[in-house]
Amino acid sequence: MKNLVSIILCLSPILGHAQNRDTFDPRVTELWDPKPKQVTAMPLLLAAPSDAILLFNGKDLSEWTSGDGSPAQWEVKDGAMTVVKGKGDIKTKRLFGDVQLHLEWRTPVVIESEGQGRGNSGVFLQERYELQVLDSYENTTYSNGQAGSIYKQHIPLVNATGKPGEWQSYDIIYTAPRFGDSGRLVTPAYMTVLHNGVVIQNHAAIWGPTEFKGVPLYLAHSKGSIKLQDHGNPVSYRNIWLREL
């Protein structure tokens, strides 16, 4: 982790003036060690609390929209919604700041690729800060890109990933960043995550919006949607609810 912090300290002044990241090699921000220890856990099927906002009722995508505002076009079947390749990310119509978010996800039982091409999706808080969804069961990839990572930032404490085709759960406590009147960052975003009931991120400070290339840099913003990523793999979601904090 210290290696990536050093990268950020060295490159932030340069990237702060960059107009795009097209020439940045994404491998620079991949961390392959340490590799989180594999643990066996049990996914939790939790009923939504009485004060929760139900974001997916298992029947339709009435709470969701595509990224451009058009109707969401993921498949809804058997109480779950599934990524349809090429239909794009979907996001909640409602905007949120600090939340407790519960969702369950499942990667395809049929393995067709490896590394980042295997059951890849993601959960974005305020459309900016990604908690990685990936089939990380006996699947080698960079550690800060595996399931449960705050993508390209924090490696999960352990690998609690279930087998392909099994339902898994994320329980997320998210605190949005705070900005001053001038747009200056006052406090960063924080994320605590339980994967299948196991703590994998413990009040981790987020370094800025998720970037595939380059290092994260905060820009002032207000509330945002919860976004689910279309990464080309038929990942499914169900039992999605949140509580505003």
Mind listing the pLDDT tens digit for each residue in 15-32?
A: 444 456 678 888 888 888
Show Cβ contacts of residue 47 under 8 Å, excluding neighbours closer than 6 positions: none
Rg (CA), the chain: 17
Look at residue 155 in the predicted model and tell me its pLDDT.
98
Measure Cα distances from 206 to 36, 65, 126, 187, 194 in Å: 19, 26, 13, 10, 16
Pick from 127, 110, 121, 128: which is nearest to 82 by CA? Answer: 121
d(CA 179, CA 88): 30
Look at residue 9 and tell me whether its pLDDT is greater than 60.
no
Mind listing the pLDDT tens digit for each residue in 202-220?
A: 999 999 999 999 999 999 9
Tokens representing residue 242 in the block: 């949140």
Q: Scanning the structure block, which residue is given the tokens 């001053």?
A: 180
**CATH code of residue 40:** 2.60.120.560
Q: Scanning the structure block, which residue is given the tokens 């996800």?
A: 105
- Of residues 168 and 40, more confidence is placed in 168
The total number of structural domains that make up the chain: 1
Helix (H) or strand (E) holding 193: strand 190-195
Per the structure, the complete domain to which residue 105 belongs is given by 2-244
Look at residue 2 and tell me whether its pLDDT is greater than 70.
no
Q: Do 236 and 106 form a contact (C-beta atoms < 8 A)?
A: yes
Mind listing the pLDDT tens digit for each residue in 58-88?
A: 999 999 999 999 999 999 999 999 999 999 9
